[in-house]
Structure 1
Amino acid sequence: MEYMSAPQAAEKWGISERRVQILCAEGRIPGVSKLGYMWLIPKDAEKPADARRKEFKHE
């Protein structure tokens, strides 16, 4: 499996590196692992939905 780092994921998803680290620490990204101080994120991982925002669905 190929991995990307937190800075690479941040650039790919358009969010900050710190936010990616928080998502990893909270277990919101499946398949992550930590090697020393560095988070390893699967290259095919999807950006998790932001739980801080309330999405409205109009019917």
Structure 2
Amino acid sequence: MEYMTTTEISKIWNISSRRVAILCEQDRINGAIKKGKMWLIPDDAEKPNDARKKINVIGEI
């Protein structure tokens, strides 16, 4: 398995590297490990949904 840094993943996912680090800290990226001060993320990891945004469900009030 290959690993990528928060900077590399942030470019692929089009979000900031700080946001990727926060997702790692919240254990929202499967397989992410911390090596010293650096997060290593599997290259096949999927971008988690943004929990900060509410999703409107049709039919609910």
TM-score (norm: length of structure 2): 0.90
Render the CA deviation track for 1:8-55: whole Å, top value 9, x for unaligned.
010000000100000000000000100001100000001000000012
Runs of 4+ in structure 1 displaced over 6 angstroms? none
Count of aligned pairs between the two proteins: 59
Please list every run of 5 or more consecutive structure 2 residues that lacks an aligned counterpart in the other structure: none
Letter in 2 for 1:33: I
Partner of 1:7: 7
Please list every run of 5 or more consecutive structure 1 residues that lacks an aligned counterpart in the other structure: none
Q: Rg larger in 1 or in 2?
A: 2
In 2, the alpha carbon distance for the partners of 1:23 and 1:43 equals 15
Letter in 2 for 1:47: K
Partner of 1:40: 40
